[in-house]
Amino acid sequence: MTAPSHCIKCNKELPPGALFCAYCGTKQDAPQTEAERTLIDVSVDASEAQTLVATPQDHPSTVDTLDVAPYPIPSSSEKKQPPPQLAKMLPPGGVLPAGTVIGRHYVLEEKIGEGGMGVVYRAFDRVMERSVAIKLLHANLLGEQGIRRRFLREGRLMSTLNHPNIVQVYDLLEEQRILALVMEFVEGITLTEHLKQWGGQLPYAEILNLLVPVLDAMEEAHNQGIIHRDLKPDNILLQHTATRMFPKIADFGLAKIIEGTSYTVSGALLGTCMYMSPEQIKNKLSLDQRADIYSLGITLYQLCAGRCPFQDTNHFALMMAHVQQEPVPPSRLRDDLPEALEALILEALVKEPDERLSSCLEFRERLEAAIPHTEPPPTPEPVQATLPPVLAQADGSEMVLIPSGDFLMGPKRRKIYLDAFYLDRHPVTNKQFRTFMEVTGYRPSDASSRRFLSHWSNGKIPRGQENHPVVFVSWHDARAYATWAGKALPTEAQWEKAARGLDGRKFPWGREAPDAKRANFGRSARGSLPVGSHELGVSPFGLHDMAGNVWEWCDDVDDPEFYRRGPTHNPRNVMRDGQTRYVLRGGSWMYDAQSLRTTTRKGYEPHYRLEDVGFRCVRYPTQVNASSRQADPGLQASTSEEATASSNNKTH
């Protein structure tokens, strides 16, 4: 499709295919023929079993097909629909029909959103058997200089973010006519929509409940050196759980990807301009976390006052207001606004970054102090009776629910509170890791990559070791697998609670001295054993191999002081730098009985790949509510009888 050569409003000349005017921001809604609006070109009986695979073409006028069953196949009584095909170029405003397969195994189901950057589809991942969201960048952007390079760079960076309040990026699709992000599918509404439901101003307790997790997530991203650049209520998704709304931040890095393209001055940016920091408008070469803090200050102003501090239909005037004008004090728009809260908002909106709040941690602490103490406490965790005790996952793992509550952590037996989570019953196996590599093509390229899976011969698992824990994997390798599986690496506290139970035991099975019936240690087996080989060594929650066999990577940075004196509520050490060492727990077949204690810990740099180091994964209940289970067939709840049988294996 070719858009009008001149804007339908201001008559300025536009580049071919422009969806928005680069001068006035008007969307170009020029009429299209039926042939232009649809991407279906030919009529073929569905029984011919042809589905499109969007791959680079030697001859763009042709379409490749695979001889696999179409998804879905209509019955003979249904109206026959021709199979989907891609036009030469995906047109802005065009909609790919349901059933289109891209990236070889992502089946598009329906369009769920559109903006100046691209179109968002709900899709089904046939390998992982889960719903995903796929954001396809508009075809106009594909011709912009440097867009593919920035897309790959920023996309890889986004995929390293793994936080329960950040929408996960699972995969990147880069093909001749496609740039797309494959992301976690979040069923819910945006913060913008939620604000409208409240008539413009949120109760203070609601503001606290929604913004505190967002600030926690942004603090972690900033600690990793990642700036969002486009924080606004439209990019904060609210996922419904049993008793509350759970915020998730979306679209990390997209503003950086399109930086310098014609779309950075289009009407699609008008909403972004309402939250843009002065230093972004001045086009400084380098931004830091304070740009995001300014955007969060605008958001907090809006949640309290019901409107943004600067409003104009002209994007240039709006941007100049951020640079030159002082905001109207929000107390003029909400009489009961606490003084401390107003002071916090105005400090977040200071024009000069050096005079602004310096971190999201400080922002959070000030916000919690400013909200009136008469407000009700935050909504508790989802009712655990609604959560299945055991989950069977599409990657072949089985996950066990570890309930929320206190446990005794460390040699000093500090009382620590953790929210509920699911943890793999066994470490990830060679077989599971091979599937991950086959599907994603994952291969590390760091300086230590020669040791990657060095126990495999010519890329093949040693005979008889399919169910042994995978080893010779770095922290980065383990996290890549977890991200692909829609999971994460466990925090050190999560790992210890799962191994130790609620009574502070010395070993996962109790106080009895270790022996060959309970764990693989002391080089007695001269290597790893198949996972689940020691029934007498299970933890109180029915998890295997929490002592011996292989050490396991955790998500936390290794800091003994943090372990001894850190927070008592969901502790998670993510202060990372180039010299960081990450926590290993559980002991291994190479170490003596001392390593099997539930408090034993050590750390290695993340690039290490060792013959006795593997990992297991965690998943959060907010991803497993009723709507998620329906959307993700890969999550299968085991029966209560199976869960009971597993728990009966534990020994005290």
The residues that are catalytic are 230
DSSP 349-404: T-SSGGGS---HHHHHHHHHHHS-TTSPPPP-PPPGGGS-SEEE-TTS-EEEEE-S
CA distance 212 to 544: 35
Given the DSSP bridges, would you call strands 613-614 and 551-557 parallel, antiparallel or unpaired?
Answer: parallel
Cβ proximity of 398 and 424 under 8 Å: yes
CA distance 344 to 303: 14
Residues 6+ apart with CB under 8 A from 219: 359, 360, 361, 364
Question: Roughly what angle, to the nearest 10 degrees, separates helices 339-348 and 289-305?
Answer: 140
Q: Give the closest residue to 60 by CA, choosing from 85, 80, 40.
A: 85
Q: Give the closest residue to 138 by CA, choosing from 56, 18, 271.
A: 18
CA distance 559 to 223: 15
CA atoms within 13 A on the CB side of 115: 17
Q: What is the largest CA-CA distance in the chain?
A: 83
Cβ proximity of 28 and 18 under 8 Å: yes
CA distance 82 to 224: 47
Dihedrals phi, psi of 57, to nearest 5 degrees? -110, 135
Is 49 buried (19+), middle (13-18) or exposed (0-12) by CB count in 10 A?
middle
- Terminal Cα-to-Cα distance of the chain (whole angstroms): 69
Q: Which two tokens stand for residue 186?
A: 């979040």
CA distance 530 to 610: 18
Q: Give the closest residue to 469 by CA, choosing from 425, 531, 399, 520.
A: 531
Query: How many residues in total does the chain contain?
Result: 652
CA distance 532 to 154: 39
Eight-class DSSP state of 429: B
Q: Is 269 helix (H, G, I), strand (E, B) or coil?
A: helix
CB atoms within 10 A of CB 442: 14
CA distance 379 to 401: 20
